[in-house]
Structure 1
């Protein structure tokens, strides 16, 4: 018992000694050390938060700078595209103005040449008349009214006679060459469609047809009718296909088709009547009345053929104009988007330029005017449509 008490008393004695070792000064130091650790920890946390905020701010600056750079690049590209489009439009307008000026100049020169030609012809006739009058003044009156009186032609009149004789001979050769192929409505009606096509597409037939039509036009005294022909041989030979194989050529019979069929039939009938009157024994006898009837029917047929062909061209032009207008509507729909200038504008403009070129080639200035009217109507409708949508 004594030993236990002594041990407990000994233990309490040592505890008291430890407590006595930590005085008020040591506790203060320990407290300050703990506070210092907390301050350092808070400082580290503050620095960490500050570093995170700085990095976030720098990241935000980089993002905004990248966005600003992208926007500026997009604006520069849009400006470049806009300038390119404007430059192209300026060049096109300049080319169009130059073309119009050239056409006007050519027309002015042509008119001046026609005036000079008529003036020279009139002066030549006046000289011929004066020469004939002077010659008549030297002839006695008794011989003037006699049947034996024959005034020789002047130099110009003799040249015209020789020229007409030469043209008649050339036309006779062209007629013989054309008739050597044996082309007629009766022959083509008895041939199949493919055989008729092969016959009429022979280069020799096309060449002979062109010479025949050219020589006939030169011999004719006609000054009216169609003056400028395009593909005259093929258009002329198409009349045989239209008359002999109508169902294969004219699928849908309408007003233009009926008129074309009638004019083709009349032209070929007039041609065969002229050929039937033509005699190999009289090469200089052209039968001018039948020739004039044929040329008149040929002009009528060519106009009807051109109208029939232009009907298909008008339908194609209408489809192209509708496509152009749809592209314009598409641009008005997407132009408010952020990247519209870069992603849409150039492609739409390029497609519209190709379509405009096709429209001009098919219908000329009249088709372009029709396109412009359609665009104006579209622009007039756009505000109303937007107003309806907002309501």
Structure 2
């Protein structure tokens, strides 16, 4: 996986079918048996689906015709197909309104089937609602998820004699001890500008979503702003403070993302904060592989119970004008079985998204599951923001704040301006 591949790929009718037709399709999809016909499926990789396609075809008589492409190219292709009426029955969509082919963007156009009545919908985490629900209706199936967490070199921690922290004071104490031992506490590769999102998203999960849970509702209603948010202000003050206090890579603006991870792998640095999808890459940089890599949630307060983590799913959606909606719904039912949900996530090095999924026995899933079960997860911030303008402002003005030419006030003002532009 290249550095670019680690980037966070940060009210209309619900479908073209009537409610009765959807109920019939749901019944057929969940009943098993010979459905027949073909199912057109389009997603970013066959790595997950290939686990189940052969058995699904044998059990249902459906022939699955898969198309697989990189997320950006797939999104552009789907946008054209939806407009022309040639979109596949079942396809991958980005969360929220993050792109023209994202879940809620398409739902607002009436391009997606309402999936609220499906049995698996009860196991979708509540924190996903801003990414896949509109007017109380659910429009997407979360195949798996990734979280933004702190990954560390266990050998470095053992050498220095520190343990994974659970509170902010403990975190700072660990950073102090690592720094005193001659290690770079936090590897930070901001030469790749998208990486500037990760630490702020991890901190804001607690400081904004955890402590101002209605912030985005009030923001959309015009009742508040980024500049007025104590949580967002503290997020950026803490982020910039970590750099100013020498806890990060010296000159992070000159360090690309992959070399920053390599520094953790070699033991020169101790910790890197990043999406969990990148963890196999980090493990590959370590002599001991996955066994040498530890993980913990990034704390932001004095109380461990306050900590929330960013956790965002990947989605499959059903075309409102699907040629074989019964087969599409049946396939979702099939992969929604707890052991299959877990198997798909395990195969792609991710985390099961449904709350009833069979647990996966590795440190990543052991870290994330308590937060899922306790409802202490939030979407990646850029997936809640409309369009891509706000994330672009964070990446551009955030780098200027790191170099010292912009202030926290400037950064917050830039986010507000970008948000207003995206809403206009």
Query: Whose RCO is larger (CA < 8 A, sep 6+)?
Result: 2
Please identify which structure carries the higher strand content. Answer: 2
Whose Rg is larger?
1
Name the structure with the higher helix share.
Answer: 1
